[in-house]
Structure 1
Amino acid sequence: MEFNAYLDGLPIYEPGKDIDAVAREYGVKDVIKLASNENALGTSAKVIEAIKQNAHLAHLYPDDNMSELKEKIAQKHKIKTTNIIIGAGSDQIIEFLSHAKLNSKNAYLQCGISFAMYGIYAKHCSAKAYKTTSKTHDLQELKELYKKHKDEIKVVYLCIPNNPLGDCLDKDEVYDFIKFCDKDCVVALDCAYNDFAAFKDSKKKIDAKDLLDNFDNVLFLATFSKLYGLGGLRIGYGIANKELIQSLYKIRAPFNVSNLSLKAAVAALDDEDFVKRTLNTNFNEMKRYEKFAKEFEISYINSYTNFITYIFEKKNTNDLCEKLLKKGIIIRNLQSYGMNAVRITIGKSEDNDRFFDEFSKIYVL
């Protein structure tokens, strides 16, 4: 059987290992998952209540205009609803953008290591990829690559802060780069973790309204999966000028987000206390991971997210991750990115205690 040529060599996105699968494979009863950057606190009680109250809508198609949620997002960012598109996760909007701007005659640009779906969706469109040799965001190298290939490059991805590594550019650096790009090139700012970054350092905060007021070629991407704890409901959004949003809508399938996801997202935006608790808990626990790394002389990337990246010189991460799985602890191995490193989601205090205890035993062997 023949398939489209672009599928040749196209990687399948590999999510973090599933808790039940690890329990079955390794015979471990109590498994903790510190691999997929899910919210350690779960989700807001208001979200749980909204799902219960709206469960009777499960048999109905959702409001395809998504008016209620758009109004909430518009209020949050002080923008118009016509500047918003909602997707089944922000990665679906990345897919829309790829089909709207990329083809076999052009290319996209990103830093050396970033979110895998940029490249996967670009390959769906047979587009070329340009990546920096630097793993993190080296703006000078990005500018040099863009200048060299600007006739081809129609999309640039800046992940602010970067997944899976955790590094983060300042807002001023981001704006400087946007101004450097041609008007026909869409600069997509993946801000899935930007609330975390802004909490830690105000210089990292990306404001969607400010982008709209100053640039016509920027797409701001956000998600409810991380800070709001709705990863299992798959919902995110994009903000851009009306022309770009309308173009993305031409690619969107009808009813692409479920009733319950929409109701949950509305409720999530109403619970600021949960958001504050998430951010405070995350960075208090992050300090423990930094302290642990220093005690064991492990290199790490200063993180502006809800995860931390440990980098190893002598220990092999395949071996480390396998030994942790046998103990019922799932973390993310970054060998597939060409790094002898692991990404660890900042968990609840008791889960982090367990990680430190088991990892320290494994590491010294």
Structure 2
Amino acid sequence: MTFNSTLDSIKTYETGRPIELVVREYGIAEDAVVKLASNENPLGASPKAIEAIIKNAQNAHLYPDDSMFALKESLAKHFDVDKNTLIIGSGSDQIIEFCIHAKANEKSKILMAKTTFAMYEVYAKAVGAEVVRTKSHEHNLTEFLESYKQHKPEILFLCIPNNPLGECLDSKETFEFLKQVDKNCLIVIDGAYQEYAKAKDLSKAIQPKELINTFPNAIYLGTFSKAYGLGGMRVGYGIANAEIIQALSKLRPPFNITTPSLAAAIAALEDKEHIKKSVENNLAQMPLFENFAKENGFDFTPSYTNFITYYFKAPLDSTKVADYLLQKGMIIRNLASYGLNAIRITIGTKEQNEKFFALFNTYLNQK
């Protein structure tokens, strides 16, 4: 059977290995496995969100409210924007797909950082668009401007903060750069980790209302999968001017968000105490990872997310490190697929992090 030739250049996206797989392959008890690979909230979902899921699961036989009125109302209030500026997706990556399908084709160019969220490229190549990357792994606005002027892309992706590396552009510098972008270029600001960034440093905060009022060609993406602890419920959102939202809505399949997911997102958004605890845990534990890297001579990217990236030098090999930890029931993310001798570790609870340090120390002492 033949398939669309655009698939030939696409690599399958690698997710963090599930706990169930480690249990099956290595015979480790499920409660002994620690997953620090997919940047999930180690504190879990808000108890209020869990309660909402259980309550609304009773209506599983009914289609959800396709207008998503209640969630849009909550998000509009949270960000002080109009409901007409919102679109809801099955994770923010579905909205990334909408953006590319709405704007790009085989004649288009799409600009992004050298190392950033892999799905930008996957969706770009799916429509036959040319992917243009900057030279530096991390976001460099000077390089972005040079590449923008040279290639005149139809879409520009900025991941603020950046996944999988963790660095974060300054909001004022970002806005100055965006003033030089043509109004027909769709600017996509991926703010999946903004809750962590703005808690650490307000100069990194991207305010969706200010963004879309200043740049009518921009869309802000957010998600409930990270700080809100609802990765399993798959809810993301986009905030943009009505013209962009109307275009993207033509691509949204009906009932793309389940009833329990909608209810969970609303409850999670309202539980500000749970978000506060989640962010505080991250801020408290992050320095331990930085100190561990310094003690062992690893380079790392100062992170504005809920993960940290360690870079290794030979003979230390990221694949061997990740495999060793996996066999011990510790799941982290190997970044070899990005061409990096590096690993990415989600910041967990104090107990989870101590287990990571102990296992990694054991590995290092064997060398």
Pick the TM interval, shorter chain. over 0.9
Q: Residue 212 of structure 1: CA displacement?
A: 2.1
Q: Residue 57 of structure 1: CA displacement?
A: 1.2
State whether structure 2 residue 45 is matched by structure 1 residue 43. yes
**Residues 59, 259 of structure 2: 8 Å contact kept:** yes
1:154 alignment counterpart:
154
2:356 alignment counterpart:
355
Distance between the aligned counterparts of 1:52 and 1:233, measured in 2?
A: 12
2:346 alignment counterpart:
345
What TM-score, normalized by structure 2, do the two folds share? 0.98
| 1:236-281 Cα deviation digits (max 9, x unpaired) | 0000000000000011111111101000000001100000000000
**Residues 320, 363 of structure 1: 8 Å contact kept:** no
1:202 alignment counterpart:
202
State whether structure 2 residue 317 is matched by structure 1 residue 316. yes
More deviation, 50-59/269-278: 50-59
Distance between the aligned counterparts of 1:4 and 1:35, measured in 2?
A: 32
**Residues 197, 205 of structure 1: 8 Å contact kept:** yes
Distance between the aligned counterparts of 2:239 and 2:108, measured in 1?
A: 24
The secondary structure found in structure 1 opposite 2:188 is strand
The secondary structure found in structure 1 opposite 2:148 is helix
**Residues 322, 334 of structure 2: 8 Å contact kept:** yes
Structure 2 runs not aligned, ≥5 long:
none
**Residues 9, 125 of structure 2: 8 Å contact kept:** no
Distance between the aligned counterparts of 1:40 and 1:283, measured in 2?
A: 13
2:140 alignment counterpart:
138
**Residues 166, 304 of structure 1: 8 Å contact kept:** yes
Distance between the aligned counterparts of 1:124 and 1:249, measured in 2?
A: 19
State whether structure 2 residue 10 is matched by structure 1 residue 13. no
Distance between the aligned counterparts of 2:211 and 2:9, measured in 1?
A: 36
Q: Residue 51 of structure 1: CA displacement?
A: 1.1
Distance between the aligned counterparts of 1:216 and 1:352, measured in 2?
A: 42
State whether structure 2 residue 193 is matched by structure 1 residue 193. yes
2:77 alignment counterpart:
75
The secondary structure found in structure 1 opposite 2:175 is helix
Structure 1 runs not aligned, ≥5 long:
none
Identity, % of aligned positions: 51
Distance between the aligned counterparts of 2:229 and 2:102, measured in 1?
A: 29
2:124 alignment counterpart:
122
**Residues 37, 306 of structure 1: 8 Å contact kept:** yes
| 1:93-134 Cα deviation digits (max 9, x unpaired) | 000001001101111000110000000001111000000110
Matches within 5 A, 1:261-300: 261-300=261-300
Q: Residue 319 of structure 1: CA displacement?
A: 0.7
Runs of 4+ in 1 over 3 A off after TM superposition: none
Distance between the aligned counterparts of 1:304 and 1:201, measured in 2?
A: 8
Matches within 5 A, 1:224-239: 224-239=224-239
| 1:305-351 Cα deviation digits (max 9, x unpaired) | 00000000120011111111111100000000000000000011111
Distance between the aligned counterparts of 1:363 and 1:287, measured in 2?
A: 20
**Residues 308, 345 of structure 2: 8 Å contact kept:** yes
2:222 alignment counterpart:
222
| 1:56-82 Cα deviation digits (max 9, x unpaired) | 111110111000000000000101000
2:327 alignment counterpart:
326
Q: Residue 27 of structure 1: CA displacement?
A: 2.0
State whether structure 2 residue 361 is matched by structure 1 residue 335. no
**Residues 54, 260 of structure 2: 8 Å contact kept:** no
Distance between the aligned counterparts of 1:226 and 1:137, measured in 2?
A: 21
**Residues 299, 310 of structure 1: 8 Å contact kept:** yes
Q: Residue 296 of structure 1: CA displacement?
A: 1.0
Distance between the aligned counterparts of 2:118 and 2:248, measured in 1?
A: 21
Distance between the aligned counterparts of 2:265 and 2:119, measured in 1?
A: 23
The secondary structure found in structure 2 opposite 1:68 is helix
**Residues 84, 238 of structure 1: 8 Å contact kept:** yes
The secondary structure found in structure 2 opposite 1:114 is coil
The CA RMSD over aligned residues, in Å, is 0.7
Distance between the aligned counterparts of 1:166 and 1:144, measured in 2?
A: 23
